[in-house]
Structure 1
Amino acid sequence: MADVKEDGRRARGQRSREAILGQAVSLASVHGLDGLTLGRLAEAAGVSKSGFFAHWRDKEQLQLDTIEWAVRQWTDEIVKPALKAPPGVARVLALHEARLRFYERGVLPGGCFFYTARVEFDDRPGPVRDRVAESMADWLRFVERLVREAVELGELPPETDPAQLAYEIDALGEAAVTHTRLLGRGEAAYERARRAVHDRLKEFA
């Protein structure tokens, strides 16, 4: 019986932790990782402050765990759906489309957690900046890999620079966020981002 109770407590603790991290990613997309205050998070996640301290006693660790949760969300919402498309140009386009749809659906109130984190920590040394940079590098390497597959399949010419094309695709995704949120262009910004990548790939193909 004691084991059953202990398992139940662990399951509740895990659910509580996941609820907090989900809210942390949402809040950080608006307020930044430094904006993750105890009161704001506890209220958003519906947990007590004492329950919060059962999971984190250090703000930096909370920030690092929030980044990991955001990576998991990005993988589930963007990377995995794209991998269902056949390799080659279709998969590159599917990845860009999945990203834009993630933004269009308003999954995060601030649009993009990683864009906010990059701007916030690009010139602030430390473990949090290092993890943000690592996640960005992983993403760009993944886009490069898909472009390289398209080259190997003969769908893009052999002189294609995967790193350059990955840079352009990522930049167009970021531009869609800022144009939507700062300029209020909404659907038009997403359509421009779609067309830009499509036209760029068509030039190569």
Structure 2
Amino acid sequence: MTATVGGAPRQRRAPGERSRARVLDQAARLATIEGLEGLSVGRLAKATRMPKSSVYVLFGSKEELQLATVDAARTSFLEEVVQPALGTGQPGLARLRALCEGYLSYVERRVFPGGCFFVAASAELGARPGRLRDRVATYQQQWRDLLQAQAQAGVDAGELRTSCDPAQLAFELGAILAGTDIISVLHDDQGAVERARRAIGDRLARERRDNS
């Protein structure tokens, strides 16, 4: 998931934009528990105490509501995890660590009640072709690409071994992070986050250039 850090100050939202943001915030939260298929105009109207007609006008169809919910969850992920990490140090190992820690904090704080939105959505949509699955897959690929890019930067900067495979390292770190989310939510096991921190620390230590 790529992002631009900084930028112009946010403009004050119009009433329609505020209503849309309010619905999408609730939709993303509900989707981590009830699934994207569980979203409906009626369900969100009840959750936000808005008229059904008002919610329908904002999105027009269930699929557009679902797609907008995925986009809103991505914006949240960028703000919570990606942008703070990209503001840490130079590209490479420091940012790679910050991305992993940001994700673990995101899970630990339960930004969404059902854990990572994209882990839940991937499990729900993985075998279902269509625009919704493609949108989630695109954002998941961007996240993996970001981890890989920072691993590559670490190799280029001489922080990681020249024999380090950035794609493999990104895959392993991503698997640890996603697995931690699943265990933390399914078993209500906050200890999983600390075990993940140790696992990531050990994995990165094995790739450090000064250990060669």
TM-score, normalised on structure 1? 0.92
Query: Distance in 1 between the 2:95 and 2:79 partners?
Result: 16
2:114 pairs with 1:110: yes
Q: Identify the structure with the greater helix proportion.
A: 1
Query: Distance in 1 between the 2:38 and 2:140 partners?
Result: 21
Query: Distance in 1 between the 2:202 and 2:49 partners?
Result: 46
Contact 2:85 2:95 in 1 (8 A): yes
Partner SS state of residue 133, structure 1? helix
Query: Distance in 1 between the 2:152 and 2:162 partners?
Result: 9
2:74 pairs with 1:74: no
Tell me the equivalent position of 2:5. none
Query: Distance in 1 between the 2:153 and 2:94 partners?
Result: 11
Pairs aligned (count): 196
* Stretches of 4+ aligned residues off by more than 4 angstroms: none
Tell me the equivalent position of 2:197. 194
- Which of 169, 172, 178 is the matching residue for 1:168? 172
Contact 2:81 2:102 in 1 (8 A): yes
- Which of 76, 97, 100 is the matching residue for 1:96? 100
- Which of 128, 134, 138 is the matching residue for 1:130? 134
2:23 pairs with 1:20: yes
Contact 2:119 2:178 in 1 (8 A): yes
Superposition deviation, residue 182 in structure 1: 2.0
Identity of aligned residues (%): 43
Query: Distance in 2 between the 1:149 and 1:48 partners?
Result: 50
Query: Distance in 2 between the 1:118 and 1:67 partners?
Result: 11
Partner SS state of residue 55, structure 1? helix
Superposition deviation, residue 68 in structure 1: 0.8
Query: Distance in 1 between the 2:70 and 2:184 partners?
Result: 24
Partner SS state of residue 54, structure 1? helix
Query: Distance in 2 between the 1:109 and 1:183 partners?
Result: 14
- 1:49-60 equivalences under 5 Å are 49-60=52-63
| Structure 2, unaligned runs of 5 or more | 1-11
Tell me the equivalent position of 2:153. 149
Query: Distance in 2 between the 1:125 and 1:198 partners?
Result: 37
| Structure 1, unaligned runs of 5 or more | 1-7
Contact 2:148 2:167 in 1 (8 A): yes
2:126 pairs with 1:119: no
What is the alpha-carbon root mean square deviation over aligned residues?
Answer: 1.4
